[in-house]
């Protein structure tokens, strides 16, 4: 599902040159659940951004869901992203729309048949336990509920890969546990998951293969 070979990413040039990632190589098979860990600034977000085509590597090859991301043309990025669900630390819900509208927005943007939008949206909301809050607006949600809505939005298009960039970073332990449980449920239904977190205490709970980044280098790949 994901394959990186000797990937490096450098920002800037000359004295302001910063090497965000150096010589990263790993593979993630279809259906795997992998934890990407490391301190803030270790390069987790940069790595994830390269996986969904928001950044291109300075060196090396990246393949995601059958797309050669390192050679991807700008016009092909939407096709790559349709096969990926993404959640962030900030839920990024649209303020003027209800939870239902936020989730349905994805299907409408992608041109899903009108008759399919409502059942698929409710199915995604049910999967994250948020059906009862479908008509609530983002400001009426708790942080945990907002993140669950964000998860529903990521999975409503049935992606083969879920990239989670610190989705529990803003949550207390109980809420973080809930989100982790939901991500595991999503994975158990066949979605490949790459879960980035700097919260070291979560890693043992997950009991999954772990990639550890330090200063832009992959220092551990175990589990």
Q: Which of 52, 67, 100, 122 binds other proteins (CB under 8 A)?
A: 52
Q: Name the one range near other proteins by CB under 8 A: 24-32, 56-64, 81-89, 173-181.
A: 81-89
Candidate list 12, 31, 78, 181; residue touching other proteins; CB under 8 A: 78
CB 165 within 8 A of CB 44: yes
Q: Note whether 157 binds other proteins by CB under 8 A.
A: yes
Considering only 6, 108, 126, 207, the residue that binds other proteins (CB under 8 A) is 108
Contact 171, 201 (CB under 8 A): no
Asked if 148 touches other proteins (CB under 8 A), the answer is no
| Least spacing, CB of residue 190 vs other proteins, in Å | 20
* Distance in angstroms (rounded) separating the CA atoms of residues 83 and 110: 12
- 186 Cβ contact partners less than 8 Å away, ≥ 6 residues apart: 127, 151, 155, 162, 193
Is 120 one of the binding residues for other proteins (CB under 8 A)?
Answer: no
Strand ranges in the chain using DSSP code E only, listed in sequence order: 2-11, 18-28, 33-37, 59-64, 67-68, 84-87, 161-165, 192-197, 209-214, 217-222
Within 167-196, the residues that bind other proteins by CB under 8 A are none
26 binds other proteins (CB under 8 A): no
Closest distance of CB 67 from other proteins, Å:
12
Check binding of 39 to other proteins (CB under 8 A): no
List the one residue from 18, 94, 132, 219 that touches other proteins (CB under 8 A).
94
Q: Which of 75, 119, 189, 201 binds other proteins (CB under 8 A)?
A: 75
Among 36, 42, 47, 86, the residue binding other proteins under the rule CB under 8 A is 86
CB 22 within 8 A of CB 216: yes
Q: Which segment (57-65, 108-116, 183-191, 192-200) binds other proteins by CB under 8 A? A: 108-116
Applying CB under 8 A, does 95 fall inside the site for other proteins?
A: yes
**Neighbouring C-alpha atoms within 13 Å toward the C-beta of 99:** 26
**Per CB under 8 A, 137 contacts other proteins:** no
What is 158-219 written as a DSSP string? --SEEEEESTTTTS-HHHHHHHHHHHHHHHHTT-EEEEEE--TTHHHHH-SEEEEEETTEEE
* Selection from 74, 83, 82, 35 nearest residue 55 by Cα: 74
Residues engaged in binding other proteins (CB under 8 A): 52, 54, 75, 77-84, 86, 92, 94-95, 105-106, 108-111, 114, 153, 157
């Amino acid at each position: 599902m994901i394959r990186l070979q000797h990937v490096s990413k450098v920002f800037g040039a000359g004295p302001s040159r910063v090497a965000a990632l150096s010589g990263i190589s790993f593979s993630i098979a279809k259906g795997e659940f992998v934890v990407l860990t490391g301190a803030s600034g270790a390069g987790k977000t940069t790595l994830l951004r390269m996986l969904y085509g928001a950044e291109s590597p300075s060196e090396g090859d990246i393949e995601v869901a059958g797309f050669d991301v390192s050679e991807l043309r700008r016009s092909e990025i939407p096709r790559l992203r349709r096969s990926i669900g993404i959640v962030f630390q900030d839920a990024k819900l649209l303020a003027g729309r209800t939870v239902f509208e936020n989730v349905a927005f994805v299907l409408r943007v992608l041109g899903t048949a009108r008759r399919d939008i409502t059942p698929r949206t409710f199915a995604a909301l049910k999967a994250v336990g948020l059906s009862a809050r479908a008509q609530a607006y983002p400001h009426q949600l708790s942080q945990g509920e907002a993140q669950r809505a964000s998860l529903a939005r990521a999975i409503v298009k049935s992606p083969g890969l879920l990239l989670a960039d610190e989705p529990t970073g803003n949550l207390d332990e109980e809420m973080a546990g809930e989100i982790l449980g939901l991500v595991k449920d999503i994975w158990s239904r066949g979605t490949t998951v790459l879960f980035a977190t700097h919260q070291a205490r979560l890693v043992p709970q997950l009991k999954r293969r772990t990639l550890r980044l330090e200063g832009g280098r992959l220092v551990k790949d175990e589990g």
